[in-house]
Structure formats: C-alpha cells, structure tokens
Amino acid sequence: MTSLVPPESIKPFLDSYLPQPKPNGLPFVTLTYAQSLDSRISVAKGKQTVISHLETKSMTHYIRHFHEAILVGIGTVLADDPKLDCRYFEKASKKHPIRPIILDPDFKMRSLYNSSTMKKVNAQKPIIFIGDHVVIDEVIELAVVPLPLVNGQMRWMDILKALQGMRIKSVMVEGGAKVINDLLVYEYEGKHVVDSLIVTIGSTFLGSQGVEVSPSRGLELKDVSWWTGERDGVMAARIG
C-alpha cells in the first residue's frame, strides 16, 4: 500500500493543533471534517459525497497518524462504509494502528461488521458504544460498551471517560453531521471538550438539499490559522 503523503507545507501548519497530553487525563479531542462552501458535508442524508481533493485527503491521514482512535457515528458507517484506517506511514512495512470507535445506540453494527470494508482493511477491531437498553444474548467479537441514553443520546463526557478508562489518549472525530453539530457546542463544567478543530473547505457548492453543519448556537473560535492549497482550503482553530 502506498502512503498518502500531504504537501510539506501542511505539516508545520498543523503542528500546534496535534494531540498533546491533557492534565485531566481525558483524551485529546480533534474534530475534523470536510465541508462545501455552503457548509454542507454531503449532497443528501445517507449519500456518500467526495469533497476533499488528494492534498487534503492525504492531510486527513497524516492527522490520523497522531491519534490512537478515530470516531464516527453509525450514520457515517451506513452511508460510507468507511475504512477508518490510517494510510500515512513512514515505513512501508508498518501501518499506524488506529482504533475505530462507532457511536451506535441501537447496535446496528451487530449485523454490519462482518461484511464491512472496515473489517477487511483495519486490523484494529472497533469499539462500539451502544445504548444500555440493547440486549446482547450472543457471543460478540467486538468491544461493546453500553452507555446510558439521555433523551435518546449518549453524553460526550460518558464517552470520553470510557475512552480514558481504556487508556486512549487521543481521538479524532470525523462525523457525521449530528456528531459534529453536537460536539461543537458540548461543554463540560463550562469548558468545550474539543481541543482542536480542523475544517477542510472544498471548492464546491452542494446545494440547499445537502446535509448542513450548523451548530445550535453561535461559536467564537481562537488561535485560527489558514492553509491554502490548489483546490481546497483548511482552517485550524480552537473553540473559544
């Protein structure tokens, strides 16, 4: 497999936004995704949509190289059948091991995992967070973690504390829209839990029917930096 290597100018641009140990021991959280010029991440719900070009796609894998885990919601799995692996590596014989994490309240992965691309290409078995209402009466080869649901949703601090208990020190969150919108505004004890925000802006409009990233309230960003490529731009920041 050929390593996906980003342009050299991206590496120093990203340096200060990459994971660092946190005093409270919780995982470092990087929220990253690609959007169109009209803030859409896909042309329609459940429709796989390519926004990034090679230079920023390779950047995504470079960022994954610095994380222990990668997290998506079950909707992203259903729409994209993602690999959730890391294809940036410095030695051809050694891929970076990154652990997939799926937020899956109703445990749909129970019937999906064996036929998934994820299983075929990623040696790391996923961690599946499910609702504590799910009954499991068979042997499961996956790491399944039940969590309480509040108004049908998992609480981010429950997720992060569970990952801390597994000694996962960094997690890269990539989607989908509900996960992104919820995490952008989530605070615990008055502080945002997102440590770095990295957004690729593709040179395209997806239209008013597309799936939008727009959090439930306004946000101020700080420590904002921009990188400009041939087709895409990238914003890196922290949530103020």
Which residues are registered as beta bridge partners of 234?
A: 200, 227
Residue 89 confidence (pLDDT): 83
Q: What is the pLDDT of residues 173-190, one digit of tens each?
A: 999 999 999 999 999 999
The yes-or-no verdict on residue 41 having pLDDT over 90 is yes
Element (H, E) at 147: strand 143-147
Q: Distance between CA atoms of 175 and 198, rounded to whole angstroms?
A: 12
DSSP3 helix / strand / coil % (the chain, rounded to 5): 25, 30, 50
pLDDT over 90, % of the chain:
86
Least confident of 23-32, 92-101, 165-174: 92-101
For the segment 162-167, the average pLDDT, to the nearest whole number, is 97
Q: What is the pLDDT of residues 60-84, one digit of tens each?
A: 999 999 999 999 999 999 999 999 9
Q: Which residues of 77-94 are buried (b: 16+ CB within 10 A; e: fewer)?
A: bebbebbbbbbbbeeeee
Contact between 83 and 122 under an 8 Å Cβ cutoff? The reply is yes
Residue 91 confidence (pLDDT): 66
DSSP string, 11-78: HHHHGGGS----TT-PPEEEEEEEE-TTSEEESSTT-------HHHHHHHHHHHTT-SEEEEEHHHHH
Show the domains of the chain with their CATH numbers: 10-239 (3.40.430.10)
Average pLDDT of the residues of the chain? 94
Q: Distance between CA atoms of 95 and 118, rounded to whole angstroms?
A: 15
Q: Distance between CA atoms of 154 and 151, rounded to whole angstroms?
A: 8
For the segment 146-175, the average pLDDT, to the nearest whole number, is 96
Contact between 200 and 33 under an 8 Å Cβ cutoff? The reply is yes
Contact between 232 and 201 under an 8 Å Cβ cutoff? The reply is yes
Residue 92 confidence (pLDDT): 61
pTM, rounded to two decimals: 0.94
Residue 132 confidence (pLDDT): 95
Per-residue DSSP letter, 82? -
Residue 3 confidence (pLDDT): 81
For the segment 29-39, the average pLDDT, to the nearest whole number, is 97
Q: What is the pLDDT of residues 104-142, one digit of tens each?
A: 999 999 999 999 999 999 889 999 999 999 999 887 888
The yes-or-no verdict on residue 93 having pLDDT over 70 is no
A 10 A CB-CB count for 34 gives 24
